[in-house]
Amino acid sequence: MLSENIKEELIFMDLDVQTREEVFHILGGKLTELNYTKESFVPALKEREKVFPTGLDVNGVGVAIPHTDQNHVNATALALAVLKNPVEFHQMASNIEDHQMVPVRFIIMLAVSGANYMDFLQNAILLIQDQEVLKRIVNAKTKEEIMHIVKEKEN
Protein backbone atom coordinates (compact mmCIF):
# COMPACT_ATOMS: atom_id res chain seq x y z
CA MET A 1 0.00 0.00 0.00
CA LEU A 2 1.23 3.40 -0.96
CA SER A 3 -0.42 5.12 1.99
CA GLU A 4 1.49 2.97 4.46
CA ASN A 5 4.72 4.02 2.84
CA ILE A 6 4.06 7.73 2.80
CA LYS A 7 5.93 9.32 5.66
CA GLU A 8 4.84 12.66 6.99
CA GLU A 9 8.43 13.88 7.06
CA LEU A 10 8.68 13.21 3.32
CA ILE A 11 5.77 15.48 2.42
CA PHE A 12 6.55 19.13 1.72
CA MET A 13 3.66 21.58 1.66
CA ASP A 14 3.69 24.97 0.01
CA LEU A 15 7.39 24.53 -0.76
CA ASP A 16 8.87 27.88 -1.64
CA VAL A 17 11.52 27.16 -4.30
CA GLN A 18 12.61 28.79 -7.53
CA THR A 19 14.53 26.05 -9.30
CA ARG A 20 14.59 22.34 -10.03
CA GLU A 21 17.94 22.13 -8.27
CA GLU A 22 16.34 23.24 -5.01
CA VAL A 23 13.61 20.65 -5.43
CA PHE A 24 16.21 17.91 -5.88
CA HIS A 25 18.26 19.07 -2.90
CA ILE A 26 15.37 19.45 -0.49
CA LEU A 27 13.43 16.28 -1.32
CA GLY A 28 16.42 14.15 -2.29
CA GLY A 29 18.39 15.44 0.67
CA LYS A 30 15.65 14.35 3.04
CA LEU A 31 15.48 10.89 1.47
CA THR A 32 19.23 10.59 1.93
CA GLU A 33 19.14 11.93 5.48
CA LEU A 34 16.59 9.23 6.31
CA ASN A 35 18.84 6.66 4.66
CA TYR A 36 16.39 5.65 1.94
CA THR A 37 18.92 6.82 -0.62
CA LYS A 38 22.69 7.09 -0.91
CA GLU A 39 24.76 10.26 -1.03
CA SER A 40 25.02 9.76 -4.77
CA PHE A 41 21.23 10.00 -5.20
CA VAL A 42 20.87 13.79 -5.53
CA PRO A 43 23.76 14.25 -8.01
CA ALA A 44 22.43 11.27 -9.99
CA LEU A 45 18.91 12.75 -10.04
CA LYS A 46 20.22 16.01 -11.40
CA GLU A 47 22.25 14.32 -14.11
CA ARG A 48 19.41 12.11 -15.13
CA GLU A 49 16.89 14.93 -15.31
CA LYS A 50 19.20 16.67 -17.80
CA VAL A 51 19.17 13.68 -20.13
CA PHE A 52 15.76 12.15 -19.40
CA PRO A 53 13.47 14.85 -18.06
CA THR A 54 10.36 13.95 -16.04
CA GLY A 55 7.90 16.84 -16.39
CA LEU A 56 4.34 15.85 -17.27
CA ASP A 57 1.40 18.00 -18.23
CA VAL A 58 -1.63 16.25 -16.79
CA ASN A 59 -4.45 18.21 -18.36
CA GLY A 60 -3.08 21.54 -17.25
CA VAL A 61 -1.62 20.41 -13.94
CA GLY A 62 2.17 20.14 -14.07
CA VAL A 63 3.66 17.12 -12.33
CA ALA A 64 7.25 15.91 -12.23
CA ILE A 65 8.36 12.45 -11.18
CA PRO A 66 12.15 12.71 -10.73
CA HIS A 67 13.87 9.36 -10.17
CA THR A 68 17.11 7.62 -11.00
CA ASP A 69 18.87 4.27 -11.12
CA GLN A 70 18.36 1.72 -8.36
CA ASN A 71 22.02 1.63 -7.41
CA HIS A 72 21.61 5.01 -5.68
CA VAL A 73 18.74 3.71 -3.56
CA ASN A 74 18.78 1.74 -0.29
CA ALA A 75 15.04 1.23 0.16
CA THR A 76 11.90 2.12 -1.75
CA ALA A 77 10.34 5.41 -0.70
CA LEU A 78 8.74 8.48 -2.13
CA ALA A 79 8.87 12.16 -1.32
CA LEU A 80 5.98 14.45 -2.25
CA ALA A 81 5.94 18.21 -2.59
CA VAL A 82 3.31 20.76 -3.47
CA LEU A 83 5.15 23.85 -4.72
CA LYS A 84 4.13 27.34 -3.74
CA ASN A 85 4.94 28.65 -7.22
CA PRO A 86 5.37 26.52 -10.33
CA VAL A 87 8.91 25.46 -11.23
CA GLU A 88 9.71 24.66 -14.84
CA PHE A 89 10.69 21.12 -15.79
CA HIS A 90 11.44 19.87 -19.26
CA GLN A 91 8.73 17.62 -20.62
CA MET A 92 9.30 13.89 -20.39
CA ALA A 93 10.57 12.29 -23.62
CA SER A 94 11.50 15.67 -25.05
CA ASN A 95 14.96 16.82 -26.02
CA ILE A 96 16.32 19.35 -23.49
CA GLU A 97 17.42 21.58 -26.37
CA ASP A 98 13.85 21.88 -27.59
CA HIS A 99 12.87 23.68 -24.37
CA GLN A 100 9.45 22.13 -24.04
CA MET A 101 8.75 23.29 -20.52
CA VAL A 102 6.05 22.23 -18.08
CA PRO A 103 5.27 24.52 -15.12
CA VAL A 104 5.21 21.99 -12.29
CA ARG A 105 3.15 22.28 -9.11
CA PHE A 106 3.37 18.75 -7.73
CA ILE A 107 6.49 16.59 -7.29
CA ILE A 108 6.55 12.85 -6.76
CA MET A 109 10.18 11.92 -6.18
CA LEU A 110 10.60 8.18 -6.49
CA ALA A 111 13.31 6.10 -4.90
CA VAL A 112 12.74 2.60 -6.25
CA SER A 113 14.69 -0.49 -5.32
CA GLY A 114 14.29 -4.23 -4.89
CA ALA A 115 11.86 -6.71 -6.35
CA ASN A 116 8.57 -5.40 -4.96
CA TYR A 117 8.86 -1.81 -6.07
CA MET A 118 6.45 -2.27 -8.94
CA ASP A 119 3.16 -2.06 -7.02
CA PHE A 120 4.48 0.97 -5.27
CA LEU A 121 5.38 2.65 -8.50
CA GLN A 122 2.08 1.79 -10.18
CA ASN A 123 0.16 3.21 -7.24
CA ALA A 124 2.20 6.39 -7.27
CA ILE A 125 1.45 6.85 -10.96
CA LEU A 126 -2.24 6.13 -10.37
CA LEU A 127 -2.32 9.21 -8.17
CA ILE A 128 -1.62 11.44 -11.13
CA GLN A 129 -3.86 9.48 -13.51
CA ASP A 130 -6.87 10.43 -11.40
CA GLN A 131 -7.38 14.07 -12.23
CA GLU A 132 -9.82 14.64 -9.40
CA VAL A 133 -7.29 13.30 -6.89
CA LEU A 134 -4.50 15.32 -8.45
CA LYS A 135 -6.52 18.52 -8.21
CA ARG A 136 -7.28 17.85 -4.55
CA ILE A 137 -3.61 17.17 -3.80
CA VAL A 138 -2.43 20.39 -5.44
CA ASN A 139 -5.02 22.35 -3.47
CA ALA A 140 -4.40 20.58 -0.16
CA LYS A 141 -3.34 22.73 2.76
CA THR A 142 -1.86 20.19 5.16
CA LYS A 143 0.20 16.99 5.11
CA GLU A 144 -2.64 15.17 6.83
CA GLU A 145 -4.94 16.15 4.00
CA ILE A 146 -2.51 14.66 1.45
CA MET A 147 -2.18 11.44 3.42
CA HIS A 148 -5.94 11.26 3.71
CA ILE A 149 -6.44 11.74 -0.05
CA VAL A 150 -3.92 9.00 -0.84
CA LYS A 151 -5.49 6.61 1.63
CA GLU A 152 -8.97 7.32 0.34
CA LYS A 153 -7.82 6.72 -3.23
CA GLU A 154 -6.54 3.28 -2.25
CA ASN A 155 -9.72 2.18 -0.54
Partner 1 sequence: MKSYKILSACGTGVATSTVAANKCKTLLQARGIEKVDVIECKAIEIVGKASIIHPDCIIHTAEIPVNKLGGIKTFRALQFITGIGAEQLADEIADYLKSLDK
Q: Residues in the site for partner 1, rule: CB under 8 A?
A: 48, 51-52, 54, 56-59, 63, 65, 67-70, 91-95, 110, 112, 117-118, 121-122, 125, 128-131
| Min CB(78)–partner 1 separation in Å | 11
Of the pair 122, 139, the CB lying nearest partner 1 is at: 122
| Min CB(40)–partner 1 separation in Å | 14
| Min CB(12)–partner 1 separation in Å | 21
Spatial CA neighbour of 127 closest among 36, 3, 15, 16: 3
User: Measured between alpha carbons, how far is 99 from 22 in angstroms, rounded to an integer?
Assistant: 20
Give the 3-state secondary structure of residue 42. Answer: helix
Of the pair 3, 94, the CB lying nearest partner 1 is at: 94
Distances from the Cα of 122 to the Cα of 65, 128, 132, angstroms: 12, 10, 18
Of the pair 41, 143, the CB lying nearest partner 1 is at: 41
| Min CB(7)–partner 1 separation in Å | 20
| R_g (Cα) of the chain, nearest Å | 14
Of the pair 28, 143, the CB lying nearest partner 1 is at: 28
CA pseudo-torsion sign 84, 63, 3, 40: negative
